[in-house]
Amino acid sequence: MVNYIPEPFRIKMVERIRILPRSEREEKIKQAAYNLFNLKSEDIYIDLLTDSGTNAMSDLQWSAMMRGDESYAGSRSYLRLLETGRDIFNYHYLQPVHQGRAAEKTLFPLLLKKGKYAISNTFFDTTRAHVELTGARALDAVVAEAKNPSLRAPFKGNMDLKKLQDLINVYGNKVGLIVMTITNNSAGGQPVSMENLREVSKIAKKHQIPFCLDAARFTENAYFIKMREENYQEISLKEIVREMFGYADMFTMSAKKDAILNIGGLIGIKDNEELYQKVCTQTISYEGFISYGGLAGRDLEAMATGLYEGLDENYLHYRIGQIEYLAGKLDEAGIIYQTPAGGHGLFIDAKAMFPHIPYYCFPAQALAVELYKEAGIRTCDIGSFMLGCDPDSGRQLESEFEFTRLAIPRRVYTQSHLDYVAEALINIKKRSHEIKGFKIIWEPSVLRHFQAKLEPL
């Protein structure tokens, strides 16, 4: 039994949500062609589709927005963001952009091109896509323990150092970039240890390969280091963050996660002025002038305030505790998920829940659809449905995992919402043998899970 850690805030504004009757939910999901991206948000009771941009901002963030300086150039809000970023990350150069993938689109073509390779613990989909859009190839090298959901290990997001070294031995100077995703989203929101960052940094330096952090969930990662890694218990989160970022040369960040925003992104360059100048030129072409980078002055203010709020230890204690509480409820019911609980959510092992549904009938999508029908909860498939087909043979690929992701938005849902989610999963598990898989009746050529149409088998 894991105790719920009370929220370190009180609520002064609410947003109505409602649950439709079961017969209407069944009709809505049918009309949505069994793809949860096609549902209207007003038809959802609890929305765990993503923790990205779905966060609740604080009174301080909303009031900072009123001070937003909307000047085209030289905005005061931009200067405040630079000051904040320098204080937290100890990086000389920072460039705001409108979200994480804009950071990737701006930075990666400056480092990669056709014939090059980029290596990550695990690339997130958009990060992989932006590596491949430069013509380069993206390779993953996560530690083996990440692949066993029932195995409890403290840093399942780590890079497999031997695999990294082997890939460098094979591809030599064609390796143009190393990316560490912190926390490792696709492996279940699992953290990367400081030791692993230090070792990857040594390898990158030895081979003169630029080292970039994909830092969307950097405060959750820092909190896990403080809790789980030897010698970090007495170190402040800010010092941990500075050490983490100190090992890298640059970062891309979706600020829609740990900076507790609804929109925003950031690029950081530690000290390479020449690279920063190129980032500025790219930003002006794609995002707008450097002092706003695709955002309004008010968004820059919300980011500057949110970066500090995301680093608050009381908040992180509650945030990670909330997910561990939900995990504890699932443990009691024997529901298997990527253990230990991730920083931004739980990744339910749908293969374990529905052993009778083969990967090509999409067990994780079946669980996502069932959660909506059962309780009006929206989640998403991180499995073979998302992975897609081999581009050469056109055959369905088998994913290493069949996860249904319950991503928890920050400061949005309460204990009773989580109890309700656990209850829905437990009810589904009781009749898991009755649940059937799906087949795809239409799909687009890329990133199919956003648009594909399905039919129950």
Q: Catalytic positions, please?
A: 72, 124-125, 214, 216, 257, 449
Token output for 372: 């909506």
| Contact indicator for 416, 342 with CB cutoff of 8 Å | no
Q: State yes or no: residue 404 binds ligand F0G (CB under 6 A).
A: no
CB of 3 to ligand F0G, least distance (A): 28
Q: State yes or no: residue 124 binds ligand F0G (CB under 6 A).
A: yes
Nearer to ligand F0G, 64 or 179 (CB): 179
CB of 20 to ligand F0G, least distance (A): 24
What residues form DSSP beta bridges with 139?
Answer: 119
Interface residue with ligand F0G among 25, 43, 45, 52 (CB under 6 A) is 52
- Return the residues of window 169-188 that contact ligand F0G according to CB under 6 A: 181, 185
Q: State yes or no: residue 25 binds ligand F0G (CB under 6 A).
A: no
Mention every residue, 6+ apart, whose C-beta is less than 8 A from residue 179.
Answer: 118, 119, 120, 121, 123, 127, 131, 212, 213, 214
Q: Binding pattern to ligand F0G, positions 208-227, x when CB under 6 A?
A: ------x-x-----------
Please tell me the count of residues contacting ligand F0G according to CB under 6 A: 15
Q: State yes or no: residue 248 binds ligand F0G (CB under 6 A).
A: no
C-alpha count within 13 angstroms, C-beta hemisphere, residue 368: 33
CB of 256 to ligand F0G, least distance (A): 5
CB of 225 to ligand F0G, least distance (A): 17
Interface residue with ligand F0G among 25, 116, 128, 256 (CB under 6 A) is 256
Altogether, the residues listed in the chain come to a count of 457
Give per-residue burial for 159-173: e unless 16+ CB within 10 Å, then b: bbbebbeebbeebee
Pairing of strands 211-214, 250-254: parallel
| CA distances for 132 relative to 79, 116, 119, 125, 258, angstroms | 33, 10, 12, 11, 26
Separation between Cα atoms, residue 380 and residue 368, nearest integer Å? 6
Beta strands in 313-457 (DSSP E): 345-349, 377-378, 380-382, 403-407, 438-442, 453-456
- Return the residues of window 334-363 that contact ligand F0G according to CB under 6 A: none
Stretch that binds ligand F0G, among 58-66, 71-79, 119-127, 218-226 (CB under 6 A): 119-127
Interface residue with ligand F0G among 68, 149, 265, 388 (CB under 6 A) is 265
Site residues, ligand F0G (CB under 6 A): 50, 52, 99-101, 124, 126-127, 181, 185, 214, 216, 254, 256, 265
